[in-house]
Amino acid sequence: MLDDNEKLYPPSDAFAAKAHADRATYDAMYQASIEDPEAFWAEHGKRIDWIKPYTRVKDTSFAPGNVSIKWYEDGTLNVAANCIDRHLETRGDQTAIIWEPDSPDDDALHITYRELHRNVCKFANVLKSMGVGKGDRVVLYMPMIPEAAYAMLASARIGAIHSIVFAGFSADALAARINGCDAKVVITADGAPRGGRITNLKDNVNKALLHDTDDVKCLIVRRTGQQIAFRSANDFWLHEEEEKVSADCPPEEMAAEDPLFILYTSGSTGQPKGVVHTTGGYLVFASMTQKYTFDYHDGDIFWCTADVGWVTGHSYIVYGPLANGATTLMFEGVPTYPDAGRFWAVCDKHKVNQFYTAPTAIRALMGQGNQFVEPYDLGSLKVLGTVGEPINPEAWNWYNDIVGKGRCPIVDTWWQTETGGHLLTPLPGATATKPGSATLPFFGVQPVILEPTTGAEIHETVAEGVLCIKDSWPAQMRTVWGDHERFEKTYFSDYKNYYFTGDGCRRDADGYYWITGRVDDVINVSGHRMGTAEVESALVAHPKVSESAVVGYPHAVKGQGIYAYVTLMGGEEPSEELRKELEVWVRGEIGPIAKPDLIQWAPGLPKTRSGKIMRRILRKIAENDYGALGDTSTLADPSVVDDLIENRMNR
Ligand code: WTA
């Protein structure tokens, strides 16, 4: 059944015939995965190589007070060996990584699996020589260069746990993450070129480690050749250290449930939490989704435009594709440099087959006009993907018509840092798509929609409420680093016996899922997840700010923009200068992605008599929808609302 404005886009017969899964295969495999998860995942666990095979498959519980998630628990393996060594015999000379630099005038690199093996082994031995061993934490603060992938795989090879901090985060945010996991080594570069400009990464690391008392070491990749300040005896150049080590580094035997990485992500309260992913289940799921969601076939060129600082880069630039023996493209630059045709130029240049990006990028490029797409031959493209936020039908149609020329199935993949891989997604040869819907669950995933207040599961097909997942899947996060209680509280306490995603969702008559956005205080700015609490705490850390409340509002390109209400300290006067000062301040505290788009001076914030800020009202005003404020009678001082409406910034 279709709503009036819903059009179905089924895969062509020709596409379905060659795909890993057509509709019948998807239905049968999905059914099997739900009826007998043990048997299904026992079978599909074999897609990766185990040193010691598992005999136990699934041991998971969402029970209150006893949340515990284990997959393939008694198996042992090494992720780097799966991503590299096992391909050497059959595809040693195949390109593993294509690297496209920031400037189109510089040469791209093609790194074969054999070269990748050598580079990763050397890198791993350098880390060992710096005292890094199994279970130690390594922080990466890197440009999008092959060495970022080497560093990830080198950590995995020796059993260290990496925590990547997106290079757009500030020195303060970096320091918090270094301390949060007690990192032994920080891996960085002298500088990171992006869009023709250079971020001084090593400077930021120096700032982050200014008060370090733990002798954190720093390993530096030379990227730009710029002058950098060395800190005493704890800093090392990668190229110098590599000369001192051998290229022989046997992979460490890891238990399936040993941590592979930590990745900090924003939540609705407090500071970011360290999401922990482990070794076996994560790799099974990342590689399986990469194969099926994108219908990846041997020899295809796969390009995910994310940054390795986000989970998308972990699962779909590095681990998923390389575990499958794919050729994965890594792009250092930005979509609009030197002009808005760069993505399409790179697709044409490297004959990309599967292309995976974020709606915010699609909207930005759509706004620049079709003349940036037209000069390029996009005939190699087979599948287009999106991730990170709901895609509006206008952007979906542009992607479909102008980029895909109506030939390429679009996979709108819904998932989260916490989920490790796709949970809701079309399969390109199986699923008829609808613009704006992430469609159906991946194998083994049981989505449910709950009534938000009662928590009752809605069994009717047509439903709207909060999205939860009923049972575990292999790449589910296992815990919050150092704080299992927070893990349980965040994801398993609002709705007992379910994993709570934080997203609102609608299910239509065809059983298709439509994500309606976060139901908590997380906002999604250009596909980047941001906790409003983080921006608030950055703002109130400024000496002139007494109070602040931050909400999201609809933004044509970014999806959501950051709207900050700021109350100043007594005696401070609002001014344009102060507005600029606060913007710069937030950039310094968190990073450029957290800079408020709109700052409204608020003499007071709407609060209940018990002092709780009524965010619902602030959201409505920010959305310029103040006619629908609802009940304001519980406010301590209803008159503050009139002032906020009067001086609203988004008109
Ligand atoms: C949102 C990114 C709609 C959602 C992989 C989720 C999406 C949050 C989609 C996770 C999509 C991600 N459609 N919304 N296809 N994909 N989201 O942790 O709100 O950075 O909860 O992971 O992004 O963001 P995160």
Give the nearest ligand 1 atom to 418 CA: 18
| Phi-psi map region of 268: left, alpha, beta (phi>0 left; psi -120 to 50 alpha) | alpha
- Tens of pLDDT, residue by residue over 312-321, are 999 999 999 9
Distance 389 CA to ligand 1 centre (A): 5
Q: Is the distance from the beta carbon of residue 392 to the nearest atom of ligand 1 less than 6 Å?
A: no
Give a yes or no: residue 101 inside a domain: no
Residue 103 placed within a domain: no
Whether 513 and 540 share a structural domain? no
The verdict on residue 451 lying in a domain is yes
Whether 489 and 598 map to the same domain: the answer is no
Measure the CA–CA gap between 335 and 350, rounded to whole angstroms: 16
Same-domain pairing of 470 and 535: no
Element (H, E) at 517: strand 513-518
Please indicate, yes or no, whether residues 236 and 199 belong to a single structural domain of this protein: yes
- The protein residue with its alpha carbon nearest to ligand 1, atom 8, reads 416
Measuring CA to CA, which residue among 265, 275, 286, 360 is closest to residue 328?
A: 286
How far is the C-alpha of 15 from the C-alpha of 312, rounded, in Å? 26
- The span from the CA of 438 to the CA of 391, in Å, is 9
Q: Please report, for residues 140, 212, 359, 488, 556, the alpha-carbon distance to residue 561 in angstroms, rounded to integers and kept in the order given.
A: 28, 35, 14, 30, 9
Q: What is the CATH number of the domain that holds 607?
A: 3.30.300.30
- The reply to whether 75 sits in an annotated binding site is no
User: For residue 241, what pLDDT is reported?
Assistant: 98
- Asked if residue 414 has pLDDT above 90, the reply is yes
Task: Answer yes or no: is 267 within a domain.
Answer: no
Looking at the structure, tell me whether residues 475 and 546 fall in a common domain. Answer: no
The residue contributing the CA closest to ligand 1 atom 23 is 388
**C-alpha angle 186/187/191, rounded to 5°?**
120
Looking at the chain, the whole-number percentage of residues with pLDDT higher than 70 is 99
Ligand 1 centroid from CA 524, angstroms: 8
Q: Which domain holds residue 511?
A: 13-81+278-517
Closest ligand 1 atom, residue 502 Cα: 21
The answer to whether 196 is a known ligand-binding residue is: yes
Q: Tens digit of pLDDT for each residue in 291-311?
A: 999 999 999 999 999 999 999
Most ligand 1 atoms within 8 A of CB, residue of 275, 469, 529, 558 to mutate = 529
Q: Using 50, 70 and 90 to split pLDDT, how confident is the model at 627?
A: confident
Give residue-wise pLDDT tens across range 434-447.
999 999 999 999 99
H or E, element range at 345: helix 342-350
Q: Is residue 416 lining ligand 1, measured as CB closer than 6 Å? A: yes
* Whether 42 and 174 share a structural domain: no
Same domain, 401 and 297: yes
User: What is the value of ipTM here, to two decimals?
Assistant: 1.00
Domain assignment of residue 86, yes or no: no
Both structure tokens of 96: 């593993």
Cα of 466 vs centre of ligand 1, distance in Å, is 14
In this prediction, residue 3 carries a pLDDT of: 54
pLDDT over threshold 90, residue 639 = no
Under DSSP, is residue 463 helix (H, G, I), strand (E, B) or coil? strand
Q: What is the pLDDT of residues 319-362, one digit of tens each?
A: 999 999 999 999 999 999 999 999 999 999 999 999 999 999 99
Q: Given 191, 224, 255, which residue is the final one in a domain?
A: 255
Residues 538 and 504 in one domain: no
Q: Does a structural domain hold residue 617?
A: yes
Nearest CA to ligand 1 atom 4: 389
Q: Which of 491, 517, 543 is the last residue of a domain?
A: 517
Render pLDDT for 574-626 as a digit per residue (tens, 0 to 9).
999 999 999 999 999 999 999 999 999 999 999 888 888 888 899 999 999 98
Distance 384 CA to ligand 1 centre (A): 17
Q: Is 279 in the pocket of ligand 1 (CB under 6 A)?
A: no
pLDDT at 60 over 80: yes
pLDDT at residue number 4: 40
CA distances from 642 to 623, 636, 646 (A): 15, 13, 6
Question: Which is it for the CA torsion 234, 238, 241, 247, positive or negative?
Answer: positive
Number of separate helices (H) and strands (E) present in the chain: 21, 30
Concatenate the DSSP letters of all residues of 140-165 into one string: EE--SSHHHHHHHHHHHHHT-EEEE-
pTM for this one?
A: 0.95
Closest atom of ligand 1 to CA, residue 522: 19
User: Any known ligand binding at 92?
Assistant: no
Which run of H or E residues covers position 397? helix 393-398
Same structural domain, 241 and 299: no
Q: Which residues of 87-123 are buried (b: 16+ CB within 10 A; e: fewer)?
A: beeebeebbbbbbbbbeeeeeeeebbbbbbbbbbbbb
**Cβ atoms within 10 A of the Cβ of 332, count?**
21
Three-state helix/strand/coil letters over 421-447: CCCECCCCCCCCECCCCCECECCCCCE
Q: Which of 482, 517, 552 is the last residue of a domain?
A: 517
For residue 530, the surrounding DSSP H or E stretch is: strand 528-531
Using the predicted structure, report yes or no on whether residue 5 has a pLDDT greater than 80: no
- From residue 476, give the alpha-carbon distance in Å to each of 60, 71, 314, 418, 568: 10, 10, 14, 6, 42
Same domain, 371 and 420: yes
Residue 144 CB neighbour total at 10 angstroms: 26
Nearest atom in ligand 1 to the alpha carbon of residue 528 is 20
Q: What is the CATH number of the domain that holds 121?
A: 3.40.50.980
Residue 197 in tokens: 């400009």
| Cα angle for residues 275, 278, 283 (degrees, 5° grid) | 115
Structural domain includes residue 317: yes
Claim to verify: residue 205 and residue 164 sit in the same structural domain: yes
Q: pLDDT (tens digit, 9 = 90+) per residue, 72-107?
A: 999 999 999 999 999 999 999 999 999 999 999 999
Per-residue pLDDT, 269? 79
Q: What is the CATH number of the domain that holds 25?
A: 3.40.50.12780
Residue 271, Cβ neighbours under 10 Å: how many? 15
Residue with the bigger pLDDT between 204 and 3: it is 204
Average pLDDT over residues 148-161: 99
Structure confidence at residue 244 (pLDDT): 98
Which amino acid would we find at residue 494? D
Whether residue 269 lies inside any domain: the answer is: no
Domain count, the chain: 3
Model confidence at 213, in pLDDT bands (50, 70, 90)? confident
**368 shares a domain with 318:** yes
Mean residue pLDDT of the chain comes to 96
562 touches 534 (CB < 8 A): no
Assess whether the C-beta atom of 438 lies below 6 angstroms from ligand 1: yes
pLDDT at 1: 46
